[in-house]
Amino acid sequence: MRDETWELVNGHVADEVENLNRASLVNMTTALVKSSLLRGLAGTGPMPGEADLRLLHHSATALLLKRPGRYRQCAIHIEEDGAMVFCAQPWKTVKSLMREFFADLHTMWGTGDAIEIAAFALWRITWVHPFVNGNGRTAAAFAYACLCVKVGAFIPGNPTMLEQILADPDLLRSALRAADRDYSESRDVAHLDRLKECLDGLLLRQMNTNEPGGKDARLISDD
């Protein structure tokens, strides 16, 4: 198994690099959307693909991981207060699961709405957890890119949905875990209602900043 540890172990330098990478990730997502729309026809661009996902991950983890943009080759478990709260899919299944994800995304692209597509991309990437680190940031950036490309425009407003998620990594945690539980019980990817509502609220908050006197949408609160 390859050594996939961080090049910069926890510390203030790593934190500074991670903060700089967040700005880079936002810029790269913007560039990806505008480039896709420029290449597209009839106002919508081509669906973001695997190379785009890897590019976004590279931006999110540059100088922090030895192999940014590469799928992991190790197990991932997340614990809180000594209790297991998340166990990623086995690393040997990552490539096949990601092929399945992009196939499903392609199927949804023609008929799904932008929020539905963004919620599915965000959840499925975090569920697979294809990278050794930076999965949440990368999934959020990819989902936002999908949303904008599907809409056919770079959505106005500030802070963007992506910037809101990056500013608070715990913002969508309960909605994502609820989607995980629903999927584990039914194996049905349609159970994303709460996550869609959360993303819709974030998007409304973003867009309302463009409206004089606009009021922020109320976000779904965590239980």
Predicted confidence (pLDDT) per residue in 21-77, tens digit: 999 999 999 999 999 998 875 555 789 999 999 999 999 999 999 899 999 999 998
Residue 182 pLDDT level (bands cut at 50, 70, 90): confident
**Model pLDDT, residue 215:** 42
Higher pLDDT, 115 or 210: 115
| Long-range residue pairs from 30-34, CB within 8 A, at least 24 positions apart, any chain | 30/154, 32/56, 32/145, 33/145, 33/148, 33/149, 33/154, 34/154
Sorting pLDDT into bands at 50, 70 and 90, what band is 223? Answer: very low
pLDDT of residue 190: 56
Q: Is the pLDDT of residue 157 over 60?
A: yes
Every domain of the chain and the residues it spans: 12-208
80 vs 1, residue with greater confidence: 80
Task: Encode pLDDT of 195-222 as tens digits.
Answer: 999 999 999 999 998 655 444 433 333 3
Instruction: Choose among 23, 132, 10: nearest CA to 68.
Output: 132
The yes-or-no verdict on residue 1 having pLDDT over 80 is no
pLDDT at 10 (0 to 100): 63
118 vs 46, higher pLDDT: 118
CB of 101 closer than 8 Å to CB of 128: yes
pTM of the model: 0.88
% residues pLDDT > 70 (the chain): 85
The pLDDT confidence band at residue 153, using thresholds 50, 70 and 90, is very high
The mean pLDDT value of the chain amounts to 87
Q: Is the pLDDT of residue 9 over 60?
A: no
CATH 3.40.920.10 fits 12-208, yes or no: no
pLDDT for the residue numbered 188: 64
